[in-house]
Structure formats: structure tokens, C-alpha cells
A and B are shown apart, each in its own frame.
Chain A
Amino acid sequence: MQPLVKITALTKQFGHLTAVDHLSFSVEPASVYGFLGQNGAGKSTTIRMLTGLIMPTSGEIEIFGLSLAKHKREILQQIGAVIEKPDVYQYLSAYDNLQLFARLSGIRPTRASLMDQLAQVGLAERAKDKVAGFSQGMKQRLGIAIALVHQPQLIILDEPTNGLDPQGIADIRHLIIHLRTEMKKTVIVSSHLLSEIEQVATQLLIIHKGKKVKEGNASELFDPAQTVVQLSTEQNESAWAVIQNSAWAPNLQRITPDGIILKVDRRQIPALHQSLVQLQIPLISLQPRHSLEDYFLQVTTPGYVDTLSN
């Protein structure tokens, strides 16, 4: 299958700073592509290059099989984007904003159609209210309605859950899943919050300092057979010695001030718990660590592995 988005050796330099460094990746149609990285990793710069807001220093961007440099207008007709904050005209109403951006997208929807779009994001009752009085969550929903008003094939959401309350975050998550599964849209979503991305993404890309660290699907990155478990006991050193003489010895990884780290298959955790009780280890807690988060921090934070080992 031909990728919907194909990025090749994309580079952006701001003076001496290389914000994005020879980044290559591709996005399959009808997928949710999670774009992960710490703040300043180069996510927003990459997304801005994808939407034509920033000119790449070098590299190629192909979307729908067309070069963005040569066919920007045609490509943007099929893209809906919310970049960082969903800023719209504060002095206009939600309806006026939606109508204005629909016209800029080259369509003239009917009033009923616009009201329907606002209803889908829960803003129909506030359609005539000025955006200046809206909460961050309402603005985010309006931003998404604007991004979707022209029925684009590719939706790009840059940090869409920033500043939202838990309900707002859940709404965005459901919307992304709905866009992919029901509407067969392709979504690129960036975040520094791994927990949000992993629930919706079918593919993941981790970048750090502008470079690709890892690309793959969530199940590839998070192998359940390699689940990291942290034990906390009353006497970690003696517990370590007991486990070393048991069948779980090959699973032992290291001892830290917080406890003992083991790597086990997620399905074996109940058996591990039972064995520890049988070995009469005074257990305080047994916690499966979020291995993808560990992985993320491991690849993006220098010295993270060392801090675990110490």
C-alpha cells in the first residue's frame, strides 16, 4: 500500500540549531500516527513543515503521492490541522469562525451544515457566542470543527490535549478513534504525553533532538514478554538474595533505592506474586512499570538507564 505521507531526510535548521535532522518516516492510510517526543524534540517543527508553515532546509515531503513543495495548495485542500493552540478570532462567534475558515478551505457550506458540524463538537448552543468567552476545551473543539469542516483526508493534531481537563482529553481520544475507525481518516497526532498517544496510535514515532529514535507500532515497542516489574520489600538486599536462589533469578535486573527490578512476561505476574509469598519475602508492593514509558525515557533522556541502575 502506498503511504499517505512520506517524509525523506527532512531537515530544518534555524541558524546553527538543527531542529529536525534527516528525519524519515511514512504514514499509512487510515491509521493514527503518534508522534512522540519531549518538549523541544522537533515535533512541532516537523508538523509545521508538513503543513507548509515552515520551509524545510532540505529533504522531501510527499503527501497523497504529491510533492508538498510543488503541490501545496492541492495537498492542503485535503488536510485539516490544529497546530498547538486552537487559536481563532476572539471577536467572532463560533459560527462566524467556522464559516470563515470553511470559505478559506474553498467550500460554502449551508447554515444547517455548519450548525451540524458545531453540534458534533458540542458547540451548537454556543454557536452565536463570541469565542472570547470560551473555555480552552471549547476552543479546542471549535479548532477541531474548523480542521474537519472541509472533510479532509488527513488530520494533523499537534498536542491536541494541551490545557484540557480529563473529560476534554477523553473526548479528543474518542474523536481520534472515531475519525480512524468510522470515517477512515488518517490522523497524525503529536504529544509529549505517552499515555495519550499509546491509547489511540496504530503507529508510533519517537523523536529526540530532531532525530528519529524509533518507529513502529505500539505492540512492537511494548513487548508484553518484557514487562518491567518493580518489587518493594522491607529488606530489598535480603529479598534480592532469596530471589537469586529461586527460579526467578534469570529475571532479575537490578536493585535500586526504590526496590528490585525484574523483567517478566506480563502474564507471569500472578505466578511471580505467588512465588514471592511462598519464599516468605515481606512484600510491600509489586508494580508493573510502564515499559513503554521506560522505553521512551530511556531513548530520550540521557542517563535514564543509569538512574534506574543506581
Chain B
Amino acid sequence: MWTLFQIEVYKIFRRPRTYIAFAAITGLIGIIQFGLKLDGDQYVEFMMRDITSSITIEGNILNGYQVCYIVLQVLLVHVPLLIALVAADMISGEANMGTLRLLLTKPISRDAFLVAKFMATMVYTLLLLIWLAILALFLNMLIFGTDDLFLLKSSYVVLLKENDIFWRYCGAFAFAALAMSTVAALGFLLSLFANNSIGPIVATMSIIVFLTILSTLNIPLFSYVKPYLFTTHMIGWKEFFDIKVNASNEALSGTIQHPMRIVQSALVLLTHIVLFLLISIWVFRKKDILS
């Protein structure tokens, strides 16, 4: 099993396609950093235009934490596509290349082979998120410095103290990794049903778009299914930035307003991952290799 896992990780990182996602994230974050570094003041002015008349803010608003939040809001919507590029190719890509039949004539169990591939997919997902964290958080902290984080919510403003932010990002990235692992598990499952990777990649994204629309539609009919859709819980990372307030509306450092929501969302995502893996194993055990 360990050998299989090593081989799968080796194969992932020898494929040029793997680096598309890393390059895309690097390019996108680079562009955002470049734009904000050159023209950040105007951006802040635009962002604060509605509240500058009622409150006065001092300090470095466009700091590394702020930029990281902007990056996450923009990128976490698109990262599933980058995840699907590799995850939805894991089995279908082997079928397309014709290597699946060669692999499965070797003395390895199908279950072990599939689990090794799944674990390798998770490693890829995790490394992509770590790369995102390095560029979006650590690099931005270096470029823009650190200060308090100022977040505009729909009906209120959250101000997080500088020393109360870093752990929230750690939690947010860990949660994002779980959410992206769910996408990877879905793509992985769909890759079992095709002999080329285009179909599973498109199918993965279509399902995510479809379920995201269902998750965001405020129609009572769908409210019963929403709590069970993984897409409803994928944005759970934002909960790390909601802080508790006391009776005098003062923020309580080191707190999260709805910690149970995070736990609940994490459990729903984890359940989906396990479910997708179990279905994958069941399908693969019975699958005739015709490619």
C-alpha cells in the first residue's frame, strides 16, 4: 500500500498537467498582489466609500491579512476547477493512456490501488492549498506587512486585532483544504466512469455549479436539502472570521461566533468524502477494464 501510494504521488508530480494549477494560482495571486501594490489606495478608498463618513480608521488597512482575505474570496471559487483538473483525471486519465489495464495486470489489489490513488489525490489537494496559503498569506504578510483586519459584512463591520488573526487563517485554510478535498473526492469518483478526463472534469464542475446555485437559492422547497449539500458548507471557512461580541458590542478576542457551525460543516464535508470514497471502491471492484 505504501509503495502504491509513493508511486501514485510520484506519478502526479511527474505529470506536466499537475503544475498547471500551481502556475495558475501563482499567476492569479501575483496579479492581485501587483495590482494592489501599485493601486491599493484607490481600492481601499472604493471599499470604504460607504462607511468613512460614520467611522474613522487609522493604520495600514491594506495589510497582508486584508489582501489574503481578498485573495481567498476571489480564488476559493475557482480552486475547485484546478482541483478537478487532476482529481477527475486520476482513473479516467489512466484509462485514456491505456495504462490502467497494464497496472491492473500487476499483483496489486484493486482496493489498495484505488485507496492509494485517492490518498495521492488528497496529497495533491493539500499541497495546492499549502501553496495557496504560502502565496496568499505568508507572501502577502511579507509584501504588505501586518495590521488589524477590517471586514465588511452585509449589515455590520468586523474589526479583528492583529494578534487575533493568524490562527483564524490557519483554521480557514484547514477548512478550505477539507472543502477542496470534497471536490477532489467527487472528481475522483466521477473519473471512474469515463475513459477520458474531459467528461469527469466538466461533470465535477457542473455538479458544483448546480449544487451551489441550489445552496444559494432562497426557495423554501430547497431549504430541506440545503443542509445536506456539501456546497452549502464549502464556504464555512468564513465562520473563522466572525467574532463574538459582548453586551456592549465589543469584540471578544480569540472567539468564534458560531463554532458549532464549523464543526457541523466539517462533518458534512467529511461524510461526503468518506461516502464518495466508499462508492468509488464499490464501483471499481466491479468495473470491467475495457479501455
Contact = CB atoms under 8 A, between A and B. Distances in A.
Q: Do A and B associate with each other?
A: yes
Interface in A88-147: 88-92, 96, 100-101, 103-106, 143, 146
B95 to A, nearest CB: 10
Given A88-B99, A89-B97, A103-B3, A52 B104 contact: yes
B129 to A, nearest CB: 24
Contacts of A83: 101-102, 105
Contacts of B101: 48, 53, 83-84, 87
B288 A53 contact: yes
B286 A54 contact: no
Interface in B1-58: 3-4, 7, 10-11, 14-16
Query: Interface centre among B3, B10, B286, B289, by most A CB within 10 Å?
Result: B289
Interface stretch (A71-79, A230-238, A258-266, A290-298): A71-79
Interface in B55-105: 97-99, 101-105
B153 interface: no
Nearest to A12: B288
Contacts of A88: 99, 102
B219 interface: no
B219 to A, nearest CB: 40
A105 B3 contact: no
B104 A100 contact: no
A100 B10 CA distance: 10
Interface size class of B (residues with CB under 8 A): 20 to 34
A87 B97 CA distance: 6
A72 B102 CA distance: 15
Contacts of A76: 105-107
B105 A87 contact: no
Contacts of A277: none
A51 interface: yes
A189 B8 CA distance: 31
Contact of A87 (B102, B108, B109, B286): B102
B260 interface: no
A81 interface: yes
Contacts of A84: 98, 101
Nearest to B3: A103
A160 to B, nearest CB: 14
B97 A53 contact: no
A55 interface: yes
A81 B103 CA distance: 10
Query: Interface centre among B7, B99, B101, B289, by most A CB within 10 Å?
Result: B101
B286 A73 contact: no
A173 interface: no
B9 to A, nearest CB: 12
Contact of B103 (A77, A86, A91, A104): A104
B102 A101 contact: yes
Interface of B: 3-4, 7, 10-11, 14-16, 97-99, 101-109, 286, 288-290
21 contacts: A48-B288, A48-B289, A54-B290, A55-B288, A76-B105, A76-B107, A77-B107, A83-B101, A84-B98, A85-B98, A88-B99, A88-B102, A89-B97, A91-B16, A100-B7, A100-B11, A101-B102, A101-B106, A104-B7, A105-B107, A143-B102
Given A87-B99, A96-B14, 11 more contacts: A48-B288, A52-B104, A55-B286, A76-B107, A87-B101, A88-B99, A89-B11, A89-B99, A91-B15, A100-B11, A104-B7
Interface of A: 48, 51-55, 72-74, 76-77, 79, 81-92, 96, 100-101, 103-106, 143, 146
